C-alpha cells in the first residue's frame, strides 16, 4: 500500500475527482505531428500501391487525391471536436459526449482494431524488409522473419510501456528521417539535381493508363485510404499534450499537409519508375515501392537511405499504433465499457500499462498468422466505419451545442460541406471495398452488430451514467 | 435518482474479455478459414509469357530487367493477373441494407442511452 | 553459423528480454500498489478543475 503526496509537483493531473495517478501532460505540437504523420507515413512506403493494382497508375492518383479530400475533412472535423473534447480515447470520448454510449463503444472498437491491425501490418513489413536486406547482403538461406516481427512489436511495446515522452520523441526523429528520405529521392530522380529518370509516358502507355476503365478508379479508392489512414490518431494524445486546444489542431492540420505532399511525391516517383503491374502487386511484386524505386535508380546511397526510411516508417507507425490503441482501450476500461482492470495507469511511467500489455499478443497473433492484404483490409474497414461516424458526430455536435454556446479551440469553416463530402466519399469507398472484399465487410459489420447487442444488453450495466459525461458543457439543445 | 452500477468481480471481468476476444478472432478468421476472403487476382488460362505477348514496351522491359527479372516467365503471373470486378446487384443491396441497418440500430440504442445520461447529469428526471 | 543465423537468435533473445522486463515490472507494480490507486485516473481532470474554479 503506497502513500501519495497530493502536493507533489512531479505528479500532475491531480484533480478533484480523485485521480491519484493519471497520464502525464508532457507533449508539444511537434509530438502530435509525429504521432499523426508517424502512423501514416508507412502508407507511402508500402500498401498504397495495391491501389495501382486495383485500377492502374492514374486510378491510384485520383484515389490519392479523393482520399486526400476525405482526410482533409476528417482532419478539420477532428480538430474542431477534439480541441473541445480533450481526453484520451479521442473519437471514443467524442462519441460518448455527442452521440451516445453505444456509438462510443463501437468507435472505441474501431480505433483499437484499425490500429492493432495496422501495427501487425507494419511488423510484417519490417520482417520482410530485414529478410530482403539479408538477401541483398548475400545470405543464401531463407531468413526466419518471425523473430524480427516479434522483436519489433515487443520492443515498441516496451518503449510505450516506459513513457510517452520518450516514445513520441523517438517517433519524431524517425518520422522526420523517413519524410526527408522521400524528399531526397524526389529531388535526385526527377531532374532537379541529376538528369531525370522518370518515364511516365512510356510506362503508362496504351492500356497501362487505365487498365480497368473507370470502375478501376472506384476500386482503387479502397487502398487510396492507405495514403493517410491513421492521421485521426492525433486525438489520442489529447490527455498528454500540454495545451490540447492549440497543439491538437496545429499538429493535425500540419500532419495532413505533410501527408498530401508525401503521397503525391510518392505516386509521382513510383509510377515513373516501376511498371504498374509489378508496382500494383504488393504481395508478389513491389512490397516496398519506394525502396524498389531507389533500387531502380542504381544509386547505392539512395537504396540505403530508402531502406532505412522504410524501416523507420514501419517502426514509427507501429509505435504510434501501440500508443493510440492502448489509449483507446484504456479510456474504455476507465469508463467500465471494458473491464475496469484496463483503466490502470503505471504509477512510475504514467502509461496505461495493462492496455499496452494486453494488446501485444493480439498484434502478434495477426502479424504471425494472417496475410498482409487481409490485415490491411481489416484495418481499412475499421477506419472506414469510423470515418462514417465522424460526419454524424459533427452534425450532431453543431446541433446540440451551436457555436458560442461552448468555447471551441478551433472552428472549421464551411460546415456542413466537409461533413457531407466525407459521407459521400465514405459511400464510394464502401462500394470499392465491396468490389473486392465484400465478405469481410459483411463479416466485420456482423461482428459489430453482435458486439453492440452484447454491450447494450450486458456490458452497459457496469457503466455509471452521468459520471461518464465529463465535459463542463451546458445541457445539449433538444434534451 | 442516480444509477449505481454493480461492482464487477475479477472472474466476470475475465469472462468478458474472453467473450470479446472470441468475437474478435471469429470475425477476422472465419472468412479466412472458410475461404470466403476475397480480393485475389487470377491469371487467365493460356496467358502469354513473352514480353511482346504481354504487351510490354521497351521501357517496361528495361525496368523489369533492372529489377532483376530477365526472364519474362518469372513475372508473367504478376503481369497477367487481373481482378474480376463483376458483381451482383443483389449482393450490393445486401451490403447496403447491412450497413444502414447497423448504423440505424446503433444510433437508436445510443440515443436511448444518451437521454438517460443527460437527464441524470443535468438532473431533471421527473 | 552465419551472421544472419546469429541475428535470428539475437532477435529472439532480445524479444524475450524486453518481454520479460515488461511482465516482471507489471507483476511487481500490481503487487506494490493498491488497485484503487492504480485505477484512480478519471477523464476530464483539466476540465473539472476549470469548472470548479469558475462555477
Q: Is the peptide bond before A416 cis (omega within 30 degrees of 0)?
A: yes
What confidence tier does A370 reach under pLDDT thresholds 50, 70, 90?
A: confident
The answer on pLDDT for A8 being more than 70 is: no
C-alpha span between B23 and B18 (Å, rounded): 9
Which three cell numbers, joined as nine digits, stand for A66? 479523393
The answer on pLDDT for A11 being more than 90 is: no
Nearest residue in A to B11, CA atom: A339
Contact C22 A344 (CB under 8 A): no
Clarify whether residues B91 and B110 are in a common domain. Answer: yes
* pTM of the complete model beyond 0.90: yes
Which three cell numbers, joined as nine digits, stand for C50? 476549470
Is residue B1 assigned to a domain? no
Q: Give me the percent of chain A exceeding a pLDDT of 90.
A: 75
C-alpha span between A186 and A18 (Å, rounded): 53
Is residue B4 assigned to a domain? no
Contact C37 A347 (CB under 8 A): yes
Averaged pLDDT for residues A103-120: 94
Clarify whether residues B46 and B80 are in a common domain. Answer: yes
Contact residues for C6 (Cβ-Cβ < 8 A; gap 6+):
none
Q: Which pLDDT does position A5 carry in this prediction? A: 39
Is residue B76 assigned to a domain? yes
Q: Which chains touch A (3 or more CB pairs under 8 A)?
A: B, C
Q: Which pLDDT does position A29 carry in this prediction? A: 93
Clarify whether residues B109 and B80 are in a common domain. Answer: no
Contact C45 A17 (CB under 8 A): yes
Clarify whether residues B81 and B58 are in a common domain. Answer: yes
Question: Which of A337, A113, A428, A430 is closest to B102 using CA atoms?
Answer: A430
Nearest Cβ partner for B117 among A275, A388, A469: A469
Contact A439 B20 (CB under 8 A): no
Contact A278 B81 (CB under 8 A): no
The tens digit of pLDDT for each residue in A75-85 reads: 999 999 988 88
Contact residues for A259 (Cβ-Cβ < 8 A; gap 6+):
A37, A40, A41, A44, A68, A71, A227, A228, A231
Q: How far apart are the first and last CA of chain A?
A: 44
Which three cell numbers, joined as nine digits, stand for A286? 513491389
Q: What is the mean pLDDT of chain B?
A: 88
| Chain A touched by C47 (CB under 8 Å) | yes
Q: At what angle do helices A289-297 and B58-66 cross, to 10 degrees?
A: 100
C-alpha span between B25 and A395 (Å, rounded): 34
Clarify whether residues B69 and B79 are in a common domain. Answer: yes
* A262 to A45, A201, A380, A404: CA distances (angstroms): 10, 22, 20, 37
The answer on pLDDT for A459 being more than 90 is: yes
Q: Which pLDDT does position C2 carry in this prediction? A: 86
How many structural domains is chain B composed of? 3
Asked if residues A473 and A402 have their Cβ atoms less than 8 Å apart, the reply is no
Clarify whether residues B81 and B91 are in a common domain. Answer: no
| Chain A touched by C26 (CB under 8 Å) | yes
C-alpha span between B50 and B44 (Å, rounded): 15
Clarify whether residues B75 and B56 are in a common domain. Answer: yes
Q: Which pLDDT does position B38 carry in this prediction? A: 62
Is residue B72 assigned to a domain? yes
For residues A2 and A440, the model is more confident at: A440
Contact B107 A439 (CB under 8 A): no
Asked if residues A337 and A104 have their Cβ atoms less than 8 Å apart, the reply is yes
What confidence tier does A12 reach under pLDDT thresholds 50, 70, 90?
A: very low
Give the closest-approach CA distance of A65 to chain B in angstroms.
22
The answer on pLDDT for A3 being more than 70 is: no
Fold of A29-464: Amino acid/polyamine transporter I (1.20.1740)
**Which letter does DSSP use for residue B103 in this model?**
H
| Chain A touched by B92 (CB under 8 Å) | yes
Averaged pLDDT for residues A162-174: 96
Indicate the range of A335-349, A370-384, B108-122 predicted with least confidence.
A370-384
Q: Which pLDDT does position A2 carry in this prediction? A: 36
Give me the domain span that covers residue B20: 9-38
Give the closest-approach CA distance of B10 to chain A in angstroms.
8
Q: Which pLDDT does position B124 carry in this prediction? A: 64
Amino acid at each position: 500500500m503506497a502513500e501519495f503526496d497530493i502536493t507533489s509537483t512531479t505528479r500532475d493531473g491531480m484533480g478533484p475527482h480523485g485521480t491519484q495517478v493519471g497520464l502525464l501532460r508532457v507533449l508539444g505540437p511537434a509530438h502530435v505531428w509525429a504521432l499523426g504523420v508517424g502512423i501514416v507515413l508507412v502508407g507511402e512506403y508500402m500498401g498504397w500501391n495495391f491501389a495501382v493494382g486495383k485500377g492502374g497508375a492514374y486510378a491510384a492518383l485520383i484515389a490519392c487525391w479523393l482520399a486526400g479530400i476525405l482526410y482533409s475533412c476528417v482532419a478539420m472535423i477532428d480538430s474542431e471536436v477534439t480541441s473541445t473534447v480533450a481526453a484520451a480515447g479521442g473519437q471514443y470520448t467524442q462519441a460518448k459526449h455527442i452521440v451516445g454510449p453505444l456509438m462510443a463503444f463501437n468507435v472505441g472498437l474501431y480505433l483499437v482494431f484499425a490500429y492493432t491491425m495496422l501495427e501487425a501490418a507494419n511488423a510484417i513489413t519490417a520482417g520482410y524488409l530485414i529478410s530482403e536486406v539479408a538477401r541483398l547482403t548475400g545470405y543464401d538461406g531463407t531468413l526466419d522473419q518471425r523473430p524480427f516481427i516479434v522483436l519489433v512489436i515487443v520492443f515498441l511495446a516496451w518503449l510505450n510501456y516506459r513513457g510517452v515522452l520518450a516514445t513520441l520523441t523517438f517517433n519524431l526523429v524517425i518520422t522526420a528521417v523517413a519524410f526527408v528520405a522521400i524528399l531526397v529521392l524526389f529531388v535526385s530522380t526527377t531532374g532537379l539535381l541529376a538528369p531525370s529518370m522518370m518515364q511516365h509516358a512510356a510506362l503508362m502507355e496504351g492500356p497501362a493508363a487505365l487498365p480497368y476503365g473507370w470502375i478501376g478508379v472506384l476500386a482503387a479508392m479502397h487502398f487510396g485510404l492507405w495514403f493517410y489512414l491513421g492521421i485521426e490518431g492525433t486525438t489520442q494524445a489529447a490527455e498528454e499534450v500540454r495545451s490540447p486546444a492549440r497543439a491538437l489542431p496545429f499538429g493535425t492540420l500540419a500532419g495532413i499537409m505533410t501527408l498530401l505532399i508525401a503521397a503525391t511525391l510518392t505516386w509521382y516517383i513510383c509510377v515513373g519508375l516501376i511498371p504498374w503491374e509489378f508496382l500494383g502487386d504488393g504481395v508478389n511484386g513491389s512490397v516496398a515501392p519506394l525502396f524498389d524505386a531507389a533500387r531502380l535508380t542504381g544509386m547505392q546511397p539512395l537504396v540505403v537511405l530508402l531502406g532505412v526510411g522504410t524501416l523507420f516508417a514501419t517502426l514509427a507507425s507501429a509505435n504510434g499504433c501501440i500508443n493510440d490503441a492502448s489509449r483507446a482501450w484504456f479510456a474504455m476500461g476507465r469508463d467500465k465499457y471494458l473491464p475496469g482492470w484496463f483503466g490502470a495507469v503505471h504509477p512510475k511511467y504514467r502509461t496505461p500499462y495493462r492496455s499496452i500489455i494486453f494488446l501485444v499478443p493480439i498484434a502478434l497473433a495477426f502479424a504471425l498468422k494472417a496475410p498482409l492484404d487481409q490485415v490491411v483490409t481489416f484495418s481499412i474497414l475499421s477506419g472506414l466505419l469510423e470515418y462514417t461516424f465522424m460526419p454524424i458526430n459533427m452534425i450532431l455536435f453543431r446541433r446540440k451545442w451551436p457555436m458560442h454556446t461552448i468555447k471551441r479551440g478551433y472552428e472549421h469553416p464551411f460546415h456542413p460541406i466537409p461533413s457531407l463530402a466525407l459521407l459521400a466519399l465514405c459511400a464510394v469507398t464502401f462500394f470499392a471495398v465491396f468490389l473486392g472484399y465484400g465478405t469481410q465487410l459483411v463479416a466485420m459489420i456482423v461482428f459489430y452488430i453482435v458486439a453492440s447487442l452484447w454491450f447494450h444488453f450486458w456490458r452497459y450495466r457496469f457503466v455509471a451514467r452521468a459520471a461518464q459525461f465529463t465535459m463542463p458543457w451546458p445541457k445539449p439543445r433538444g434534451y | 435518482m442516480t444509477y449505481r452500477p454493480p461492482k464487477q468481480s475479477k472472474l466476470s471481468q475475465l469472462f468478458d474479455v474472453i467473450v470479446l476476444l472470441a468475437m474478435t478472432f471469429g470475425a477476422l478468421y472465419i472468412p479466412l478459414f472458410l475461404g470466403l476472403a476475397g480480393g485475389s487476382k487470377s491469371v487467365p488460362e493460356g496467358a502469354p509469357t513473352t514480353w511482346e505477348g504481354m504487351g510490354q514496351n521497351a521501357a517496361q522491359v528495361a525496368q523489369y530487367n533492372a529489377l532483376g527479372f530477365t526472364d519474362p516467365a518469372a513475372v508473367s503471373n504478376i503481369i497477367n493477373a487481373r481482378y474480376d470486378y463483376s458483381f451482383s446487384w443483389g449482393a450490393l443491396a445486401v451490403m447496403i441494407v447491412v450497413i444502414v441497418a447497423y448504423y440505424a440500430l446503433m444510433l437508436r440504442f445510443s440515443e436511448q442511452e444518451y437521454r438517460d445520461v443527460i437527464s441524470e447529469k443535468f438532473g431533471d428526471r421527473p | 553459423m552465419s551472421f544472419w543465423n546469429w541475428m535470428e537468435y539475437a532477435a529472439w533473445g532480445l524479444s524475450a528480454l524486453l518481454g520479460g522486463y515488461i511482465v516482471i515490472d507489471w507483476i511487481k507494480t500490481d503487487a506494490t500498489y493498491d488497485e484503487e490507486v492504480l485505477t484512480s485516473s478519471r477523464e476530464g481532470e483539466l476540465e473539472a478543475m476549470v469548472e470548479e474554479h469558475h462555477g
